């Protein structure tokens, strides 16, 4: 860490990436997908980086998931040719979508028959379409028991010449609020069974075998149940974070992304330290653990202490009094973010432990 700070003259918070751990995480999920005969289409919204993407490509992984048209355009500009935008179609961007579809194998997501109709009316190039199925997260998608809406949506898509294929997709977001592996396994299995039931219903009705795609790091890491599933789309696994650690999904040695931040104040009464690492550096997500909110954790004297409070620029960490003797203003400390996807989204580059700089997509919303 000190070598990186000196080499790049870093004085404010920055992200430190352990490339070896990233590669280990990639290869574990690649192997699991191969062993279960699954297509591995990792979600790149976690890292948003062409350079991290190259680590996947070097391992033979060439199908990816993204969360926006802009992100798809970013990765397409670096040669990626098989991209799923796993977010309901944003119709004001249809010009950009049609352009992308004419240049690569683009997959889009719809979550009801109205969106499906809007899409086929505006397509000018061929795409693959995933239909979002609501298996319990209740954010988006057609309810898995709404056969009428499912058939209506499927028929709109099947009857259009610009639709190459139709697949089924779900995201088991409930696994991120579980308190352990038993809960994750239970939710994962129920979600898989629900979407596979949709697959069987459509097979009986149309005589077509629709592929099934599932996402989420907790379920894909913990479970070995993939009956009827064809594709997985985890994303967070590439970095992991404090949330995944607290829920026993990963170990501390598997977490590959840390925020390095300065200590700005050491306070004796109450016993706590103040860090230059607020919501603009870490994001505002937190872990509910034993009745407390934890916005990440900071390593002090070999032990991780939860971040108790977070404001725009500040992080407050309550510590035992003996810790105050081993930390001083100006020290740099390691922080494991509560949710690495949001923390990574704050930055346009990563500094790696082997001295390299990894470029990432810059944030840009509005004009």
Domain harbouring 203, CATH code? 3.20.20.10
The answer to whether residues 201 and 309 belong to one domain is no
- Could you give the CA distance from residue 46 to residue 43 in angstroms, rounded to a whole number? 7
**Please, what is the average pLDDT of the chain?**
95
Q: Looking at the domain assignment, is residue 221 inside a domain?
A: yes
pLDDT over threshold 90, residue 4: no
What are the structure tokens assigned to 351, written together? 């500094």
Q: Looking at the domain assignment, is residue 118 inside a domain?
A: yes
The answer to whether residues 340 and 231 belong to one domain is no
pLDDT over threshold 70, residue 366: no
Looking at residue 10, its pLDDT comes to 87
- Could you give the CA distance from residue 53 to residue 347 in angstroms, rounded to a whole number? 16
pLDDT over threshold 80, residue 211: yes
Looking at residue 3, its pLDDT comes to 76
Question: Closest Cα to residue 257, out of 20, 28, 31, 45?
Answer: 20
The answer to whether residues 78 and 221 belong to one domain is yes
pLDDT in tens, 45-61: 999 999 999 999 999 99
Q: Find out whether 136 and 157 touch, Cβ atoms under 8 Å.
A: no
pLDDT band at 106 (very low <50, low <70, confident <90, very high): very high
Residue 266 is part of which domain span? 256-359
The answer to whether residues 291 and 209 belong to one domain is no
Question: Closest Cα to residue 170, out of 152, 147, 188?
Answer: 188
pLDDT over threshold 60, residue 334: yes
pTM: 0.95
- Could you give the CA distance from residue 256 to residue 254 in angstroms, rounded to a whole number? 6
The answer to whether residues 177 and 31 belong to one domain is yes
What are the structure tokens assigned to 268, written together? 């004796």
The answer to whether residues 220 and 279 belong to one domain is no
Listed residues 204, 238, 272: the one ending a domain: 238
- For residue 109, CA distances in Å to 79, 258, 330 come to 22, 32, 48
The answer to whether residues 265 and 216 belong to one domain is no
Q: Looking at the domain assignment, is residue 4 inside a domain?
A: no
What are the structure tokens assigned to 293, written together? 């909110």
Question: Closest Cα to residue 245, out of 120, 335, 138, 327?
Answer: 335
Q: What total number of domains does the chain contain?
A: 2
The answer to whether residues 160 and 208 belong to one domain is yes
Q: Find out whether 49 and 359 touch, Cβ atoms under 8 Å.
A: yes
Looking at residue 365, its pLDDT comes to 56
Q: Looking at the domain assignment, is residue 187 inside a domain?
A: yes
Q: Looking at the domain assignment, is residue 13 inside a domain?
A: no
DSSP letters, 189-213, are HHHHHHHHHHHHHHHHHHS----EE
Looking at residue 331, its pLDDT comes to 95
The answer to whether residues 139 and 196 belong to one domain is yes
pLDDT band at 168 (very low <50, low <70, confident <90, very high): very high
CATH of the domain at 291: 2.40.37.20
Q: Looking at the domain assignment, is residue 207 inside a domain?
A: yes
Residue tagged 């894909």 (tokens): 220
Q: What is the mean pLDDT of residues 174-181?
A: 81
The answer to whether residues 233 and 262 belong to one domain is no
- Could you give the CA distance from residue 320 to residue 7 in angstroms, rounded to a whole number? 33
The answer to whether residues 88 and 120 belong to one domain is yes
Q: Looking at the domain assignment, is residue 12 inside a domain?
A: no
Which residues, 6 or more positions from 12, have their beta carbon under 8 angstroms from its beta carbon?
Answer: 262, 276
Q: Looking at the domain assignment, is residue 248 inside a domain?
A: no
SS3 category, 355: coil
Listed residues 238, 268, 288: the one ending a domain: 238
The answer to whether residues 341 and 272 belong to one domain is yes
């Amino acid at each position: 860490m000190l070598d990186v700070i000196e080499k790049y003259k870093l004085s404010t918070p920055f992200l430190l990436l352990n490339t070896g751990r990233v590669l280990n995480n990639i290869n574990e999920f690649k192997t699991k997908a191969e062993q279960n005969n699954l297509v591995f289409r990792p979600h790149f919204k976690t890292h948003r980086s062409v350079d991290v993407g190259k680590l996947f490509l070097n391992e033979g992984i060439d199908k990816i998931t993204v969360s926006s048209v802009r992100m798809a355009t970013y990765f397409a500009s670096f040669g990626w040719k098989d991209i799923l935008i796993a977010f309901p179609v944003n119709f004001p961007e249809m010009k950009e979508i049609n352009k992308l579809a004419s240049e690569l194998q683009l997959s889009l997501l719809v979550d009801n028959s109205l969106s499906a109709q809007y899409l086929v009316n505006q397509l000018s190039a061929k795409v693959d379409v995933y239909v979002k199925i609501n298996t319990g997260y209740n954010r988006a998608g057609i309810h898995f028991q709404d056969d009428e809406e499912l058939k209506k949506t499927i028929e709109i898509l099947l009857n259009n010449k610009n639709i190459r294929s139709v697949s089924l997709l779900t995201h088991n977001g409930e696994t991120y609020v579980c308190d352990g592996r038993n809960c994750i396994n239970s939710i994962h299995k129920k979600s898989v069974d629900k979407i596979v039931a949709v697959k069987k219903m459509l097979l009986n009705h149309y005589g077509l075998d629709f592929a099934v795609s599932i996402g989420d790091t907790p379920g894909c890491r913990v479970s070995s149940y993939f009956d009827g599933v064809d594709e997985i789309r985890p994303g967070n696994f590439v970095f992991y974070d404090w949330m995944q650690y607290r829920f026993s999904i990963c170990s501390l040695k598997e977490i590959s992304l840390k925020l390095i931040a300065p200590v700005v104040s050491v306070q004796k009464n109450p016993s706590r330290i103040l860090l230059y690492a607020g919501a603009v550096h870490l994001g505002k997500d937190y872990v509910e653990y034993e009745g407390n909110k934890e916005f990440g954790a900071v390593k002090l004297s070999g032990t991780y202490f939860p971040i108790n409070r977070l404001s725009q620029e500040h992080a407050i960490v309550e510590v035992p009094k003996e810790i105050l003797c081993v930390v001083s203003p100006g020290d740099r400390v390691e922080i494991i973010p509560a949710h690495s996807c949001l923390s990574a989204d704050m930055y346009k580059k990563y500094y790696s432990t082997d001295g390299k700089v990894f470029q990432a997509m810059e944030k840009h919303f509005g004009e």
